[in-house]
Amino acid sequence: MDSARVVERFGLDEGARSWLEAAEGLPESGLRVPSGVEAARVLDMFVLEGRDRVEVEGLWPGEGCPVELWWLVELMCRRLCADADLPVGVWRGWPSLVEVEDARARVASLFAFAAWVPVQLARHGALGVDRSVTVATLADVGVQVRRSRWLFGRLSLETAAWVAAQFRGRLFWVGGLQLEPAVLGSQGVVEWYSPEEASGLGPGLGVGDPVLRLHIPTGGLDPLVVDEALGRARGFARDHLGIDPVVATCTSWLLDPFWAEVLGEGSNIVRFQRRFRLVGEGVPGESDVFRFVFGSPRVDVGAVSAGTRLERAALERLGSGAGLRVCTGWLRLP
């Protein structure tokens, strides 16, 4: 078996082909996709519900499953094993396969992640991470599956690269926020100061210093909940991740100053913004707003309707010819 057969069987694109070829050169994983009661327990931890749960269970690999699917899952397992100790600050992509017609291939990542769960539990335990944090973090799998259905109308895991980050120890759901250990510096849409500018900000804010990147779960902006999570963040990093970050950053469409102009100081979005000092000018954010506000994978003003003040403001902004931004901000951790 080789990756070329997997690509042909499922009609995968060039990006997936390259990713699988690289994984093919990695050592065998030795991981096993759970079955029966064991598989059901994993799906409970992933918090797959309703239609998502039923469909995934119906697709679960077993006897008679195509060898190409088993090989696809094995290559994903190899990548999980190889990246288990990926250095902080290094990002590894992962194929989403959201456009693939075969539903088994679209959720192959779920099978690989399920095989890794026992390792995940053991690794979190070795770090002294409270099981409640592990359980909450694993539950994000179900969140991402539901979001993929919202966006694309069918079962998939479009954000497989994001989900894979938690299995590399790069995402922990602590209280009301998700914490990603990283290092300060510009990376992708994340902005940071130049080394010369950063050196004048004080200890712990230099390029390459440890940082916690903050991610906001849907509906997670209650000020008291955010306060509690921020109060725990630095201690969690010291006690369990071996780093002592002075600051946290957040890169999000929620930090676009435009929202303060239209939502007012009573908005939880604006209250969240006020915690941060912005870096740089931001990057175009229309795509993120359409994904997270309208549930649309494409920016198409004519295809969505506005029912809330936030939605109306977004459409009016775009209708005026102005844009929306994804901005990076930072705050000092207590």
Residue 75: the pLDDT is: 98
Residue 63: the pLDDT is: 86
Query: Strand (E) positions, the chain?
Result: 172-174, 177-183, 210-215, 247-252, 277-284, 325-332
pLDDT tens column, 225-271 = 999 999 999 999 999 999 999 999 999 999 999 999 999 999 999 99
Tell me the C-alpha distance between 230 and 319, whole Å.
37
Tell me the C-alpha distance between 187 and 44, whole Å.
34
Tell me the C-alpha distance between 90 and 299, whole Å.
29
Residue 273: the pLDDT is: 97
Please report, for residues 68, 193, 255, 324, the alpha-carbon distance to residue 285 in angstroms, rounded to integers and kept in the order given.
38, 20, 10, 5
What residues pair up with 3 in beta bridges, in sequence order?
Answer: none
SS (H, E, C) 17-49: HHHHHHHHCCCCCCCCCCCHHHHHHHHHHHCCC
Residue 217 has pLDDT above 90, yes or no: no
pTM metric for this prediction: 0.94
pLDDT tens column, 197-211 = 999 999 999 999 999
**Count of beta carbons in the 10 Å neighbourhood of residue 199:** 12
Tell me the C-alpha distance between 109 and 115, whole Å.
10
Find the mean pLDDT for residues 122-134.
96
Assigned token pair, 223: 């000020």
Alpha-carbon torsion (46, 51, 54, 59), positive or negative: negative
Alpha-carbon torsion (213, 215, 221, 225), positive or negative: negative
Burial of 30 from C-beta contacts in 10 A (0-12 / 13-18 / 19+)? exposed
